[in-house]
Amino acid sequence: MTGGAWAEHVLPHGPLTQLAPRVWQVTGQTPGFGFPRNMTLWRMDDGGLWVHSAVACDATTMAEIEALGPPAVLVVPANVHRLDAAVWKARYPALRVVCPAGVQEAVARALPVDSTDADVPGVLTHALPGVRPLENAYQVDAGAGHALVFCDALFNVRPTRWVLALVLFLIGGRGFGMTRVARWRLLRSGPAFAAWLRARAMEPTLALLCLCHGDAVLRDPAPKLREAAAKL
């Protein structure tokens, strides 16, 4: 891959931020109006990196990521989260590309898929009850409790600019939870998904929530899951 191909994908983004002993995040932007999108990185038991919803970063940030460990698994968590997946695979040819079975055909149009996301050592893949099989949630050992990593089933975007406030209004994304657009696209049974969220909130080792869009929940995540459940 040429440097130019990578550079074309690098949009404004924040720094590499450690959320937990084994979890990091980079917040980037979408093309156009700059909606926030997060890449979550988890250090696997063998030292490699599990990369969820890849974001192409500048040279300094990529060097910091590589210093954490070699990128090993690339999760394309939904068919609409393919933006930087192909250039990541081109940069790291040994990356194993995985995605939910329900979107494998769509993701494969952007880059080759090695297997489904249910087959990654150390990662517990949760099929979401009441949600169409277009995305999953993932449970990983954060190093101090466990993290749940979501794609679009939950949002936590703050309207820091007027354009974000407008977008959030249009998609029905006020506060923590599932947006109106996500309900239309993903939801089959609100009660079933709500029950699953409440069950996860009861787990004593739950330490943090990582989302593709919006702030991670780093303290006392259980009430946030119950808040999202109550809105369904």
Q: Which residue has the tokens 């002993």?
A: 21
Cα 82–Cα 84–Cα 90 angle in degrees, nearest 5: 110
Query: Residue 167: what pLDDT?
Result: 54
Poorest-confidence range of 25-29, 81-85, 146-150? 81-85
For 197-214, the pLDDT digits (tens) are 999 999 999 999 999 988
Q: Which range in 20-24, 28-32, 160-164 is most confidently predicted, on average pLDDT?
A: 20-24
**Coil, strand or helix at 79:** coil
Nearest alpha carbon to residue 23 among 127, 122, 171: 122
* Residue 207 near residue 221, CB atoms below 8 Å: yes
Top pLDDT among 38 and 118 is at: 38
Q: Which residue range(s) make up the domain with 38?
A: 3-230
231 pLDDT above the threshold of 50:
yes
Q: What is the CATH number of the domain that holds 29?
A: 3.60.15.10
**Coil, strand or helix at 33:** coil
73 pLDDT above the threshold of 50:
yes
Query: Residue 171: what pLDDT?
Result: 52
- Return d(Cα 133, Cα 103) in angstroms, integer: 8
The arithmetic mean of pLDDT across residues 65-75, rounded, is 97
The whole-model pTM stands at 0.92
The arithmetic mean of pLDDT across residues 34-55, rounded, is 94
Q: Which residue has the tokens 């209004």?
A: 169
Q: Which residue has the tokens 């891959």?
A: 1
Nearest alpha carbon to residue 208 among 162, 147, 150: 147
Nearest alpha carbon to residue 185 among 136, 230, 131, 232: 131
Number of domains in the chain: 1
